[in-house]
Amino acid sequence: MAPGKHGLIATAVTVVCAVTVLAAPGTALASPGPAPSPSASPSASPSPSSSASPAPAPAPNKDLEAVREKLDKLYHDAAVATDAYNAAEEKAEKQSAEIVELAKKIVEGQRRLDELKRRAGAAAAAQYRTGGLPDEAQLLLSDDPQDFLDGTGRVLQGQRATKGLIREMTDTQQDLKQYAADASAQWKKLESHRKAKAAARKKIKQQIAAAEDLESQLEKQEKERLAKLERQAAYQAQTAWLDSGILDEINGKASEQGKKAVKFATAQIGKPYVWGAEGPDAYDCSGLTSQAWADAGHPIPRTSQEQWKQLKHVDVKDMRPGDLIIYFDDASHVGMYVGDGAIVHAPRPGRTVTLAGAGTMPILGVVRPDA
C-alpha cells in the first residue's frame, strides 16, 4: 500500500465515512429527530379510522445510545471469550500433538525393551547349553594355554556386553516410566484445556445471544437509527485520532512480507465474522491477522492477546502497513494496518471483514510480526 493521505485506502475510508453521516457539515453529528407526525389543522375533525391505536413512539436517542453501549459491551465480552476459546484450542492442539509423540516413544521404547529381553534370553540359553557354568569357570578348566588367553578376552568382552545389556534395559525401562508419566500429565492438561474451551464457548454463545435478543426488540426505524449512532461514534473517534496529527508522522513503508500479509487480509473483505474461524470462508479478528501472516510465510500467535504479548511493540507513529494494531485495555481485538490511517479487520458477529479507520476504537498499541 502506498503511503499518503490521498491514496486509494484514504479515498475508500473517506467514502465509507461520508455515507455514514448526514451530508451537511453543520448537522453531520447531530442526532436525528423523531419521525414527524401527520399534518392536521387545529379545526380538522378526526377521521373514522383515527380511532385505531397509535404506533409506539420510537425510543429517544439517549435510550438508543444506552442500547449501543450495551451492545458494545456484550460483543466485547464475546470477543474476550473468543480469545480465551482460541487460546484453549491452540493449547489443546499442542497437547494432543505432544501426546501423539509420547505414544510413539512408548511404542518404540517397548519394542526396544522386547529386543533387549530377547537378547538376554539368548545369553541365558547359551549359558545353559554350556552346562550352566559361567565363562570364568570354563576358562579355568581349559588345558590349552592359547585357548586360555583367547578365552580371557572373550570373558572380558562378555562381561562388558552383559553389563551394557543390563544398563540399557534399565535405562529403557526408566524412559518408558517417564514417558508414561509425561503422557498422563499431558492428558490432564488436555482435559483442562477442553474444559476451558467449553466454558469459553458457552460464554460466547450467551453474550452473542443476549446481543441478538436486544437488537431483535428494536423496531426497524430504531435499528436504522442505532446503526447510524454506531457509525457516528466511529466517525467521531476516527476524526479525533486524525485531528491529533498522527497521520503526518506515520510514513513507514511495508516490508515484502508485510505487503503479502496486507494483500491476503484485504482479499478477505466481505467474508463473514465467525468466532473461532481461521478461514478460508470466515474469520474472527485474530484468525484473520494470524492467517494473513502465515500466508506471508511468517507464522504468529493465534490470539490477539498473545500477539500483544509475544510480538515486538512499536510506536504508533512508526507503524507501517502489515503491522497489527491491538485494541482495548485487555487486547481483545486486533486489526491490520494497511496505510493511510486505515485498518482491515473482522469486527464482530453479524459483520464482515472490512476496512475501517485505525482510530475508531481505543488503541492499546502496535506490534510488528516481522521485526
Catalytic residues: 285, 333, 345
Can you read off the three cell numbers belonging to residue 79? 470477543
8-39 as b/e: b if 16+ CB within 10 A? ebbeebbebbeeebeeeeeebeeebeeeeeee
Classify residue 315 as exposed, middle or buried by CB count within 10 Å of its CB (0-12, 13-18, 19+).
exposed
For residue 192, the one-letter residue type is S
Can you read off the three cell numbers belonging to residue 363? 488503541
Can you read off the three cell numbers belonging to residue 208? 452473542
Rounded distance between C-alpha atoms, residue 257 and residue 322, angstroms: 8
Cell 476459546 belongs to 85
Cell 562381561 belongs to 159
Task: Provide the β-strand partners of residue 367.
Answer: 313, 324
Is there a contact between 295 and 261 (Cβ–Cβ < 8 Å)?
A: yes
239-261 as b/e: b if 16+ CB within 10 A? bebbeeebbeebebebbebbebb
Using CA atoms, how far residue 146 sits from 25, 143, 160, in Å, is 114, 9, 22
Can you read off the three cell numbers belonging to residue 356? 475501517
- Phi, psi angles (nearest 5°) of residue 89: -65, -45
Rounded distance between C-alpha atoms, residue 64 and residue 226, angstroms: 6
Report which of 172, 177, 40, 190 is spatially closest to residue 109, judged by C-alpha positions: 172
For the beta carbon of residue 83, count every other beta carbon within 10 angstroms.
Answer: 26
